[in-house]
Amino acid sequence: MRITALAIPLACLMLLAGCANTAGDAAGESSAVVFAMDTEMQLKAYGKNADEAINAAKAEINRLDKLFRRGDSDSEIYKINKNGSYKVSEDTAKLTRCACEIGDMTNGVFDITIAPIMDMWGFYTKEFRVPAKTEIDFALGRVDHRNVTVSDDTVTVSNGSELDLGGIAKGYLSSRIMEIYTEYGISSGIVSLGGNVQALGTKPDGSNWNIAIMDPIDSVAYIGSVRIKDKAVITSGGYQRFFERDGKRYHHIIDPSTGYPADSGLSSVTIISEDGALADGLSTSLYIMGLDKSTKFWYDNGGFDAIFVTDEGEIYITEGLDGVFESRKNYEVIK
């Protein structure tokens, strides 16, 4: 691995709300804020059909939220878990198949059957606790993405496993919104779904979108920004959801090999890819893997770029971001 040290001044750091310059835009602009999948979602589109595109995107958000919400008795995920097998919509089948493929790619580091462990720690109920190791070991017997099969339009879970698509659903949704924008003739648009951002084309003025990357160590600061077009930028980190007991912090990204919060030496991982679902799944997976294993995974698989922030605040970026990532901080390029 050859690593080159660089430091580039941060010339322009923009949040989603300030990404686009609409001055003189006669084609039309529309935006909306929606709360779904337990997060606030911001949508913006430019073009003569912008209002229609935003309305269609809002409808799709609500539709997919109802399909994928694990705790809703009307959702397809709930019915799969309750019945063990269920005939589902094209979206649920497609996303479940995609999630299983990422599970295979990562040798089980990404696992959509982690639900029993998440429940045990209280990350769904918000009744947080530190479970006993014997409890965790028992629950781990139900965690294995290979217990999930998709046959045509039927999803089946076996061996007591439960399906949860929360680790990948927002990435899938952001890509679906890009498809909707395109269907309505939109060539410039963006969505922010919590820590997930995905952009269609460029800003109306032709320049690339500039997406800020949060500093996982300082919640009111940013490590830098990345310029993109037609890409998703998705970040996972232990700083996002956590609780503390006896002076120790426990975050929500569980390592399926141990049943405990991942302790990989990384504070955050940001994935940049054209595929929102892939970026969502890999951001979690590489966070669990740690820097060395993630670097090897990137070498072996490609198809994405990444920004890694270590627990010590060191920043590493893959070489595809060289020249499009900007930061006032020192960082190193992995080549």
What confidence score (pLDDT) does residue 242 get? 86
- Percentage of residues in the chain with pLDDT exceeding 90? 84
| Tally of CB atoms within 10 A around 103 | 22
Q: What is the mean pLDDT of the chain?
A: 90
Of the candidates 132, 103, 74, 117, which has an alpha carbon nearest to the alpha carbon of residue 278? 103
- Section 203-209 average pLDDT: 96
Q: What is the DSSP letter of 53?
A: H
Name the least confident of 13-27, 121-135, 237-251: 13-27
Number of domains composing the chain: 1
Span 248-259, pLDDT tens digits? 999 999 999 999
Helix (H) / strand (E) containing 209: strand 209-214
Reported as a single tens digit per residue, the pLDDT across 137-184 is 999 999 999 999 999 999 999 999 999 999 999 999 999 999 999 999
Number of DSSP helices (H) and strands (E) in the chain, helices first: 8, 17
pLDDT tens-digit series, residues 41-79: 999 999 999 999 999 999 999 999 999 999 899 999 999
* CATH number (domain holding residue 192): 3.10.520.10
Q: Work out the pLDDT band at 194, boundaries 50, 70, 90.
A: confident
Model pLDDT for residues 283-328, shown as the tens digit of each residue: 999 999 999 999 999 999 989 999 999 999 999 999 999 999 999 9
Which residue(s) pair with 8 in the sheet?
A: 327
What φ, ψ does residue 191 adopt, rounded to 5°?
A: -135, 145
**pLDDT, position 126:** 85
Distance, CA of 114 to chain centre: 16
* For residue 9, pLDDT beyond 80: no
**CA-CA-CA-CA torsion for 200, 202, 204, 205, nearest 10 degrees?**
180
- Residue 201, phi then psi, degrees to nearest 5: 65, -145
The answer, yes or no, to whether residue 24 has pLDDT greater than 70, is no
Instruction: Record the pTM.
Output: 0.90
In this structure, which amino acid lies at residue 250? Answer: Y
Q: Is the confidence at residue 4, as pLDDT, over 80? A: no
Query: Percent of the chain beyond pLDDT 70?
Result: 92
Which residue in 79, 81, 82 sits closest to 66, CA to CA? 79
12 against 308, higher pLDDT: 308
Asked if residue 18 has pLDDT above 90, the reply is no
Residue 208's pLDDT is 97
Q: Give me the domain span that covers residue 282.
A: 3-334
Rg of the chain over Cα atoms, rounded to whole angstroms, equals 20
Q: What is the pLDDT of residue 27?
A: 63
